[in-house]
Amino acid sequence: MATHSRYGGVVPELASREHLRAIVPAVRMALEESSTQLEKLSAIAVTEGPGLVGSLLVGMTYGKALAMVHKLPLIAVNHIEGHIHAVASQSAVEFPALALVVSGGHTHLFEVAEGFRYRLLGKTRDDAAGEAFDKVAKLLGFGYPGGPVIDMLAPHGNPDAVRFTLAKMKGNTLDFSFSGLKTAVLHYVRKQGNDSRPLFTESEIADVCASFQRVVVTVLIDRLFDAARRYQAKGVGIAGGVSANSRLRAELQQYGRSREMPTFLPSLGLSTDNAAMIAAAGLRKFRAGITAPDDLNADASLTL
Ligand code: KG4
Ligand code: ZN
């Protein structure tokens, strides 16, 4: 993360180099921490996509090699599916349930049914929610990733201080759009600053963070519960990096309680990208007898 922070985002070339450097020690450490050995495993799960092709290839090649050498079945997992099953593996989810995957690359609302079946109900038409957090943090002068910084500062600000609004969605009303909001924050920041005055005081920055976060969380929760009503879901969950957001977590639980709708959210460690979520989805697929074809390859733009 420090490497990416220095460059204000993920640089593909550096990411694949870091993967190459980290993969062997990471697997060794995982085995050590769980007091097991490769020989004792039942299967190897790998991320098929989507993502940066260089990083995907490192994992795919290493995973295939391990499976071949140890004569283990290989299981293909979609990155998004991993986020969803990180949540499902931690709670008793009844299907059909809705999953809102909110990360740096996705804002996708799925209906999830038994048997690894997913139906996309809505998605962002421009920036992902995490991307909006990162871009707003950047224009306020913070590093990458910006979501955690905004989350940390927002409680010190007034969420009603700045009236940011979101445009109404035409067409599929379960879609999202965050680029207009980002532009509104940019205009607000530009309007406030001038040469003789520092752009913002600490409390004004906290107000912008709180106001921006309130709008994003409100739209995510509104769409999720609107869809739950329309599709008669038995529960709703959030997943992906933005599901670590404290306001989003609190509102999800609060709305769920008031609407008597079961809610699911990952532990903080399983919110942002991690390998355990791929193992969690892989284990469920393995138990269902779903293994990957021999010619499995990384697919940077894989959909769910
Ligand atoms: O799922 P993830 O780790 O990687 C992707 O698959 O993209 O998500 C990373 C995203 C980043 O945009 C980051 O700013 C955002 O998740 N994020 C947060 C928080 N923690 C991470 N956004 C809002 N509040 C947080 N606490
Ligand atoms: Zn992710």
Whole domain around residue 51: which residue ranges?
2-82+273-287
CA-based nearest residue to 23, from 49, 1, 55: 55
Q: How many domains does the chain have?
A: 2
**Same-domain check for residues 28 and 121:** no
Q: Which amino acid is at 208?
A: V
- Ligand 2 centroid–CA 80 distance in Å is 7
Alpha helices by DSSP H, the chain:
2-7, 12-33, 53-69, 79-88, 129-139, 147-153, 179-192, 202-230, 246-258, 276-287
**Same-domain check for residues 230 and 281:** no
Q: Which residue has the tokens 């590093």?
A: 143
Q: Packing angle between helix 53-69 and helix 12-33, nearest 10 degrees? A: 30
**Ligand 1: nearest atom to the Cα of 128:** 12
**Same-domain check for residues 29 and 153:** no
The enclosing domain of 129 has a CATH number of: 3.30.420.40
- Ligand 2 centroid–CA 168 distance in Å is 27
Which residues contact ligand 1 via a Cβ below 6 A? 103-105, 130, 133-134, 145-148, 151, 240-242, 244-245, 272-273
What is the end-to-end Cα distance of the chain in Å, rounded?
Answer: 27
The model carries a pTM of: 0.92
Say if 293 falls within a structural domain: no
Say if 118 falls within a structural domain: yes
CA 203 from centre of chain: 29
Helix (H, G, I), strand (E, B) or coil at 79: helix
pLDDT of 4 above 60: no
All residues at 6 or more sequence positions from 295 whose CB lies less than 8 Å from its CB, including other chains: none
Say if 8 falls within a structural domain: yes
Q: Are 83 and 242 in contact (CB under 8 A)?
A: no
Tell me the residue ranges of DSSP E strands in 72-138.
74-78, 97-102, 107-113, 117-123
- Tokens representing residue 247 in the block: 């306001």
How much is the mean pLDDT over the chain?
Answer: 93
List pLDDT tens digits, range 75-132.
999 999 999 999 998 899 999 999 999 999 999 999 999 999 999 999 999 999 999 9
**Same-domain check for residues 151 and 256:** yes
- Tokens representing residue 221 in the block: 């929760």
**Same-domain check for residues 9 and 47:** yes
The pLDDT, as a whole number, for residue 11 is: 75
The secondary structure of residue 35, as a DSSP letter, is T
Q: Which amino acid is at 56?
A: L
List pLDDT tens digits, range 51-85.
999 999 999 999 999 999 999 999 999 999 999 99
